[in-house]
Amino acid sequence: MIDFAKVDEVLGQIRPALQADGGDVRLIEVSDEGVVTVELQGACKGCPMSQLTLANSVERVLKEQIPQITKVLPAV
């Protein structure tokens, strides 16, 4: 089982870059299967580049630091 607090801690490393562009990310859920659900906030919410940000920044960093993570999904 993946620790929610550990995932949130790793997201804390990504936040400054998102906040520099007027956005943010909030951890919603971590499933037993390794699926992490996040909500992009501020300027990131609805940004045309948000899918790229999610895949190339958030998901990449989370998977590097917590290999048990299988996927990162945006909150609906």
Q: Residue 62 has what pLDDT?
A: 96
| In the predicted structure, residue 1 carries a pLDDT above the cut 90 | no
Residue-range domains of the chain with CATH = 4-74 (3.30.300.130)
What's the maximum distance between 2 C-alpha atoms anywhere in the chain?
33
d(CA 35, CA 16): 23
Question: Which letter does DSSP use for residue 34 in this model?
Answer: S
d(CA 68, CA 41): 25
Whether the model pTM is above 0.75: yes
Per-residue pLDDT reduced to its tens digit, 17-66: 889 989 999 999 999 999 999 999 998 888 888 888 888 889 999 999 99
As a whole number, the mean pLDDT across the chain is 92
